[in-house]
Structure 1
Amino acid sequence: MHPDSPISTTLVAWGNAWLTGHAGLDDAVDRLERAGGPQVVSSGGTEVTLRSYLADLRVEGMSALRLSLPASGDPLGLTGPPPFTMAAVEAGEAATAVLPQRCVGLVPSPDRRGSSYAGVRWTAMEASVTPPDVPALPEAEHALTTAMRSATEALLTVEGPDQSHPSLPRSATEGLAPGYPARAHRVAALTARLAAAVRFARERGLSSTQIHTRAEALRDLDRAIRRARVAAHNSVLDPRHSPRP
């Protein structure tokens, strides 16, 4: 799982593309396996492939997947219960499957077996049916723009020994899946690039004063990035932002 591109974003984007008829289940799972290797789900003491698990949830009436990108002190996209919230915050990400009478939280973790097998294990947990309080896409985009300006002004005063501009990983330049509105595609692509840029900025060597200035700027920007990313991925659930036929 790449720190700049959480695997939950891929599950939510391509899972919703499948649920809305813009992609097949095989397409969605193939994208996930391309991003993170083999995918399995641990549920109730049993282990099944993600493909089978999603198909079963669909039969049960799953209508959507919601993205959560929480951080310590900021449970973005989560409404409990505590075990799911704690697991998602520790992982820094989660997806929630929305069903008619319940919700299922899916928390990813690395799944390594031996020297050659590397994939993703999703732990299925009970999730609250209460919708999370997350910003709408226009609001999140505006907040992101404001945070970018503030961070740029602060970071221009901070110079460290490493002034290089490394290229972004491919995972940080991929957009959403089919079926999302154009605005969501634009915001998602921008947040992926910014998340990579924030990580690069944090890795530069600085003095203690510079570190404090940088930390404040990047903390606010990181929060705006996470909120905009969640808004973009969840926008397919909002009829106001559905793509026009």
Structure 2
Amino acid sequence: MLDEPRSGRLAAWGNALIAGLAAPDDAAQEVIAGDSAHRMSGLPGESAPVGLTLGLGRLRALGVTGLRVALPVPGHPLGLSGPPEFNARAMAAGEAVVAVGGPAIGFVPEVTEVGPRGDVHVGVEWQCLEVRDAPPADVPSLGEAERELAEALRDATAALARLDVAGAGPAAQAALEAYRSRAERGREVLAPGYPPRAVRVLELAQRVGALVAIATGAHTEHGGAVSASEIAARADLLRPVERTARRAQVAAYNAFVEEAERRRG
């Protein structure tokens, strides 16, 4: 969770485009970010894959009013509502986007990498699939997510201290410094139109996720752990914290749709 999910960028900037708050080309470029190219395949009314700019415009023409994010992992279908085929594909990818309004469709990214190390070209094809029109699984409100995150941040910080991750070596320090530098650059966390609270929740969720990734060894080769039992204990300790951070990310990305639905209601 040191990096934002592609589904988050697609949902955030897709929502801004659908609401008329971002130009199509600008929104597509923000979604692509550091990748080489993105396409959408299987869109209703399209017989072949199309570029992201055309694809996002097509969604608006189909009557889609918003996009939601799902960040599932095995045993936790966060943000999913079925059917089984879509859930399985989303689970394998670790993320998905679900359309609100218009046809009942969702998108799962298929990522390909081509080229030698140092010159890798990353392509993403968003596979359009049928989804079930039902409430998404286990997505909290922004307020609930913010309260949970405050406690999770305390837990993650305490765990880092107990597990002596700070003394785990240069890899841990480099990961921590990279995260701090990225946070200090003042990057635009969400697209135009999102409420300030969503930005705050997402920033905190990403901070918690970064701490968990470092503590569990994703960037430190297990830090100071010296045995398999210690590595397992570390993972067990931080699993609930990671789950809370993922739930909060989904709540933040979905806040645009939730806010729009409240206004209509």
Q: TM range, normalised to the smaller chain?
A: 0.7 to 0.9
Judge conservation of contact 1:67–1:234 (CA < 8 Å) in 2.
Answer: yes
CA–CA distance in structure 1, aligned partners of residues 109 and 65 of structure 2:
21
Secondary structure of 1:106's partner?
strand
User: 1:182-218: CA deviations, max 9, x gaps?
Assistant: 1001111222233233222222331334323321232
Please name the residue that 1:190 is paired with. 204
CA–CA distance in structure 1, aligned partners of residues 148 and 12 of structure 2:
22
Secondary structure of 1:76's partner?
coil
Question: Is 1:105 aligned with 2:106?
Answer: yes
Question: Is 1:238 aligned with 2:249?
Answer: no
Question: Is 1:207 aligned with 2:199?
Answer: no
CA–CA distance in structure 1, aligned partners of residues 72 and 59 of structure 2:
24
Task: Find the partner of 1:166 among 143, 161, 177.
Answer: 177
Judge conservation of contact 1:7–1:35 (CA < 8 Å) in 2.
Answer: no
Cα RMSD of the aligned pairs, angstroms, is 2.5
Q: What letter corresponds to residue 238 of structure 1 in structure 2?
A: E
CA–CA distance in structure 2, aligned partners of residues 35 and 19 of structure 1:
23
Secondary structure of 1:176's partner?
coil
Residue identity (%): 40
Deviation at 1:22? 1.7
Q: What letter corresponds to residue 109 of structure 2 in structure 1?
A: P
Deviation at 1:170? 4.1
Deviation at 1:240? 8.2
Please name the residue that 2:41 is paired with. 42
CA–CA distance in structure 2, aligned partners of residues 8 and 157 of structure 1:
34
Specify whether residues 54 and 241 from structure 1 end up closer, same or farther in structure 2 by C-alpha distance, changes over 3 A only: closer
CA–CA distance in structure 2, aligned partners of residues 29 and 198 of structure 1:
30
Q: What are structure 2's unaligned runs of at least 5 residues?
A: none
Deviation at 1:151? 2.6
Please name the residue that 2:150 is paired with. 145
Secondary structure of 1:65's partner?
strand
Secondary structure of 2:81's partner?
coil
Question: Is 1:227 aligned with 2:223?
Answer: no
Please name the residue that 2:3 is paired with. 4
Structure 1 runs (4+) deviating above 6 angstroms are 240-243
CA–CA distance in structure 1, aligned partners of residues 161 and 261 of structure 2:
35
What is the aligned length? 241
Q: What are structure 1's unaligned runs of at least 5 residues?
A: none
Please name the residue that 2:160 is paired with. 155
Secondary structure of 1:178's partner?
coil
Specify whether residues 238 and 178 from structure 1 end up closer, same or farther in structure 2 by C-alpha distance, changes over 3 A only: same
Judge conservation of contact 1:180–1:242 (CA < 8 Å) in 2.
Answer: no
